[in-house]
Amino acid sequence: MCPPGRRLRLHVRHPDGRQGSAYLSRVPENAVPDLTKSQYWSGPSWWNPQGSWVTNNPGAATAVIPPAGACAGAGPGATVSEMSAQYNAYLKKYVVILCDQNNSVVIRTADQLNGTWSDAKVLMPQQSGGIYAPMLNPWSPSTLGTGPDLYWNLSVWNDYNVQLMHTDLTKV
């Protein structure tokens, strides 16, 4: 997705709250402050079957993880909030963890950031005291390709603390 020899920063954007979709944008590393250099993923359509990157037009963006429904009965991962994404060398896929409409932490995978994402699997259901803002640890063995262990931080509402969480990807 990134041309050889060109460093880009990829951004995954989602709306405030827990009732939205995820969108993908990128910008050359040296142009981060210049919003006119941002490109937005406009997914496949009947007139553009491959999809494309559109410069300086956030309205052209299409959801890479669209909502499956806004109500709690829609199933895990129906909406997106507080998402963290990275490439996972162990899985050889991109991984996102996020909070969904039930305030559960779910995981999804895809071959490409703009690709088709797997169904959501619940890593942790809503907890008493509230959980939010899961964040992938970039030094996890699975991220580095040295094992199946994925570590991530999770914030807790009632005491405003952050916990280090562990997921064995062979069991997900």
Whether the full predicted model's pTM is greater than 0.75, yes or no, is yes
Low-confidence stretches of the chain (pLDDT < 50) are: 1-8
- Short-list 12, 61, 66, 11, CA closest to 40: 61
Q: What is the pLDDT of residue 47?
A: 81
d(CA 154, CA 35): 31
Q: What is the pLDDT of residue 82?
A: 87
Q: What percent of the chain has pLDDT over 90?
A: 54
d(CA 72, CA 26): 32
Q: What does the DSSP 8-state code read for residue 144?
A: H
d(CA 152, CA 85): 11
- Short-list 27, 28, 66, 58, CA closest to 42: 58
d(CA 101, CA 55): 31
- Short-list 114, 59, 107, CA closest to 80: 107
